[in-house]
Amino acid sequence: MQYKSQAVAMPYFIAAIGLFVGQIIFGLIMGLQYVVGDFLFPEIPFNVARMVHTNLLIVWLLFGFMGAAYYLVPEETETELFSPKLGLAMFWIFLVAGAATILGYLLVPYSTLASMTGNDILATMGREFLEQPLLTKIGIVIVALAFLFNITMTVLKGRKTVISIVLLMGLWGLAIFFLFSFYNPVNLVRDKFYWWWVVHLWVEGVWELIMAALLAFVLIKVTGVDREVIEKWLYVIITLALVTGIIGTGHHYFWIGTPEYWQWWGSIFSALEPIPFFAMTVFAFNMVNRRRREHPNRAAVLWALGTGVMAFLGAGVWGFLHTLAPVNYYTHGSQITAAHGHMAFYGAYVMVVLTVISYAMPILRGRAANGTKAQVVEMWAFWLMTIAMVFITLFLTAAGILQVWLQRVSDTPMSFMATQDQLTLFYWMREWAGVVFFIGLLTYLASFFIKGDAKDVKA
């Protein structure tokens, strides 16, 4: 580790992985509830399990992004963090607030949680992914501001690279668009309209900047390719991401009561959203093929390449499947959406955070790379989780196609619940694929505890 303050990243990474485990456990609970409806009822109803599953995902990815920023920025700017203490303080605040929120979901009825936390002063709860109590939302803003202050001050006093500036733009965008979670107009159309400014403009906008910057950083480190080359790619990727992604928001505006032209704008621009992801894949493979050194951390290289491929498949291809308005007319809100959501989040954001952790964690623990045995186990975890996710996606896609057919296309359409009954086989297969994913995750955890011939080659 080149800078002492990079150590701030370590607790963030550990918390991220811990919450990741929690997310998957709740995913498994919920997957089982699809087929055994009263499993764990009334202790953990489906809607609560779903809320915990999605909220944990977002929170652990945020922990991952922050950890990655604390690790990356000192090295990029060639200076110590502005305030490591602030970074650590924010870690504990965020962790306690996050844990309290999840416990709130699990222990108190949601309506009670709402009245306990001031939702009657400013109503922001009850909306998918933004279920957090007002106090938690305010907490997130405070943590984000302190974090951005810390990172921005570090960048300002140090060397300014394209990577750190793109990362900073992404992180600022993340914080700014989160502010729309406080805006909750009574009109349902307007509510949904701005709700997507958080949800879509995060994952199909500013998060792509964060992802591209993190990927570029790791690729520079593990391939030794010239920074100038990687920066050019970064420019192209982020421009394409923003050009397609911002107006691409329109693919959520097809049927919510907005004017009809959104069907054209949304279809055309979002149909091009796979391009930046494709560029990222080409970028990753191109850089690794042109590498100027063999980095001892083979696992990190595997994660970086995997991110490119899986993000393109999950976000690009599976997104394109149902993004055109005439197709989406039938598929909207079906299991096809769930299939896309799973592979896109895993392929783009889970994998890019794991890429950074894979690269940075050994260095934070005082070695250039883990020993061969630990790396082999980590690579096993990569394949188990990634293949399991491919199958989860395929089974959900199959369920989605059947669902759309039975419920919406057929001459004698079935009701929602009657259709769900017909999908049971696919839900069971998805659950078993989920179990394999969990085994992969446990393998991943195990890889951190394998001792062996740590590689001391200079990183």
Partner 1 sequence: METSTTTLSASPAQAHVHAGPRLAGDLAIWFFILAELLAFGVFFAAYAFTRANNIELFNAEQAALNRNAGALNTVLLLTASYFVVRAVQAAEREASRQCANWLVGAILTGFGFIVVKLGEYAAAFEHNISLSSSPFHMFYLSLTFFHFMHVILGLVILIAMWNGARQGRYRPGDMNGLETGAAYWHMVDLVWLILFPLVYVIH
Nearest to partner 1 of 220, 339 (CB atom): 220
Q: Segment near partner 1 (CB under 8 A), from 58-66, 141-149, 159-167, 222-230?
A: 222-230
List the x/- string, 271-310, binding to partner 1 by CB under 8 A: xx--x---x------xx--x--------------------
Contact between 261 and partner 1 per CB under 8 A: yes
How far apart (Å, rounded) are the C-alpha atoms in residues 345 and 55?
13
For residue 176, what are the contacts with CB-CB under 8 A and spacing of at least 6? none
Considering only 121, 228, 412, 458, the residue that binds partner 1 (CB under 8 A) is 228
Considering only 128, 226, 294, 421, the residue that binds partner 1 (CB under 8 A) is 226
Considering only 41, 92, 264, 383, the residue that binds partner 1 (CB under 8 A) is 264
Q: Which amino acid is at 54?
A: T
Nearest to partner 1 of 328, 403 (CB atom): 328
Q: Segment near partner 1 (CB under 8 A), from 69-77, 129-137, 224-232, 419-427?
A: 224-232
Among 424, 336, 406, CA closest to 33: 424
Nearest to partner 1 of 144, 279 (CB atom): 279
| Number of residues that this document lists for the chain | 459
Cis amide bond preceding 42, omega within 30: yes
Nearest to partner 1 of 42, 259 (CB atom): 259
Q: Dihedral (C-alpha) 303, 69, 65, 174: value to the nearest 10 degrees?
A: -130
Considering only 41, 92, 235, 383, the residue that binds partner 1 (CB under 8 A) is 235
Nearest to partner 1 of 261, 383 (CB atom): 261
Enumerate long-range contacts of 183-191, CB under 8 Å, 24 or more apart. 184/122, 184/123, 184/124, 184/127, 188/257, 189/256, 189/257, 189/258, 191/127
Contact between 225 and partner 1 per CB under 8 A: yes
How far apart (Å, rounded) are the C-alpha atoms in residues 107 and 17?
23
Contact between 456 and partner 1 per CB under 8 A: no
Identify the helix (H) or strand (E) that includes residue 261: helix 261-271
Q: Report CA 4 to chain centroid distance, whole Å.
A: 28
Contact between 229 and partner 1 per CB under 8 A: yes
Q: How many CA atoms lie within 13 A of 45 on its CB side?
A: 8
Q: At closest approach, how far in Å is the CB of 244 from partner 1?
A: 8
Q: At closest approach, how far in Å is the CB of 294 from partner 1?
A: 16
Among 205, 229, 213, 186, CA closest to 356: 213
For 402, the token pair is 């059947």
Contact between 169 and partner 1 per CB under 8 A: no
Q: Segment near partner 1 (CB under 8 A), from 22-30, 173-181, 257-265, 430-438?
A: 257-265
Contact between 160 and partner 1 per CB under 8 A: no
Q: At closest approach, how far in Å is the CB of 243 from partner 1?
A: 7
Q: How would you classify residue 215: left for phi > 0, otherwise alpha for psi between -120 and 50, otherwise beta?
A: alpha
Residues near partner 1 (CB under 8 A) are 225-226, 228-229, 232-233, 235-236, 239-240, 243-244, 259-261, 264-265, 267-269, 271-272, 275, 279, 286-287, 290
